[in-house]
């Protein structure tokens, strides 16, 4: 009986450690290239060292973390070329999500999307890039929820976590929110019109724009 309980705690501990690590990377609390010290993570997350190691191994498989000989585990640095490849993959997946969202959106969903259009527009008018970035993430998350494409959403989540450094740089780049706003409004307009083909194309156009912006980053 105790073995089963231990196994359950170990599995739960691993899940907790993975979620906390993902959040730390997404928020920028752990920077690309930063070494992960197991003892510190045990203290921060309140899980066993075994759970931390299991979580790190899982995230290595996902490509978020890498293990370097004589150094240990660290958050993997993604090159510009890799970032572009990730965005090209996202373009296909997010285009699918936009098309499905256009097909499946309910009146309540469309009301939520109109709300995001207002939030994004207001953030640009206020000159609040971080507020815009937050609303941007929520919009993409909501579209995925509406689409009901669990597999695509999971894949996008794994891809996005490797893009944190570039996403942060883009969010603070002068003029980027203004460009992005029109692209997001085009996606929302197409979804509201129940035009799946137009929604997919608008989303793909948006990701093409992001790819260009990433290539221009210093």
Dihedral angle, C-alpha 46, 51, 56, 59, nearest 10 °: -100
pLDDT greater than 50 at residue 141: yes
Q: How far apart are the first and last CA of the chain?
A: 57
Supply the pLDDT for residue 81: 92
Tell me the torsion sign for CA atoms 128, 129, 135, 138: negative
Residue 13 to residue 17: CA distance in whole angstroms: 6
The pLDDT value recorded for residue 10 is: 64
**pLDDT for 172 beyond 80:** no
Q: Choose among 73, 28, 33, 68: nearest CA to 49.
A: 73
Measuring CA to CA, how many Å separate 135 from each of 27, 57, 58? 15, 32, 29
Contact 59, 18 (CB under 8 A): yes
What average pLDDT does range 131-144 have in this prediction? 93
Q: Which of 2-16, 36-50, 105-119 shows the lowest mean pLDDT across its residues? A: 2-16
Higher pLDDT, 11 or 141: 141
Encoding tokens for residue 111?
A: 């009301």
Q: What is the pLDDT of residue 163?
A: 80
Q: Quick one: tokens of 73?
A: 């585990």
How much is the pLDDT for 34? 85
E-only strand ranges, 54-213: 65-68, 72-75
Integer Cα distance of 62 and 138 in angstroms: 23
Using CA atoms, how far apart are residues 210 and 74, in angstroms rounded to an integer?
27
Q: CA-based Rg of the chain, rounded to a whole angstrom? A: 19
The candidate with the shortest Cα–Cα distance to 36, out of 21, 54, 58, is 21
Give residue for tokens 């979620």: 19
pTM over 0.85: no
Mean pLDDT of 19-31: 80
Q: What is the pLDDT of residues 195-208, one digit of tens each?
A: 999 999 999 999 99
Cα separation, 143 vs 186, in Å, equals 13
- For range 135-163, the mean pLDDT: 91
Residue 171: pLDDT over 90: no
At 24, is the secondary structure helix, strand, or coil?
helix
């Amino acid at each position: 009986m105790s073995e089963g309980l231990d196994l359950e705690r170990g599995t739960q501990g691993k899940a907790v450690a993975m979620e906390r690590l993902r959040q730390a990377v997404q928020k920028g609390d752990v920077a690309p290239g930063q070494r992960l010290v197991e003892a510190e993570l045990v203290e921060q997350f309140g899980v066993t060292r075994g759970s931390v190691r299991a979580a790190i191994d899982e995230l290595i498989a996902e490509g978020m973390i890498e293990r370097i000989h004589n150094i240990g585990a660290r958050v993997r640095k993604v090159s510009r070329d890799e970032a572009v490849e990730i965005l090209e993959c996202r373009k296909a997946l997010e285009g699918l999500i936009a098309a499905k969202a256009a097909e499946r959106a309910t009146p309540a969903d469309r009301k939520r999307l109109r709300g995001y259009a207002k939030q994004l527009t207001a953030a640009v008018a206020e000159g609040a890039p971080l507020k815009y970035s937050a609303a941007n993430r929520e919009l993409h998350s909501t579209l995925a929820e509406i689409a009901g494409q669990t597999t695509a959403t999971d894949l996008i989540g794994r891809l996005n976590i490797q893009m944190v450094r570039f996403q942060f740089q883009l969010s603070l780049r002068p003029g980027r929110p203004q460009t992005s706003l029109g692209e997001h409004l085009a996606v929302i307009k197409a979804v509201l019109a129940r035009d799946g083909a137009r929604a997919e194309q608008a989303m793909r156009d948006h990701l093409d724009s992001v790819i260009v912006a990433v290539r221009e980053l210093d």
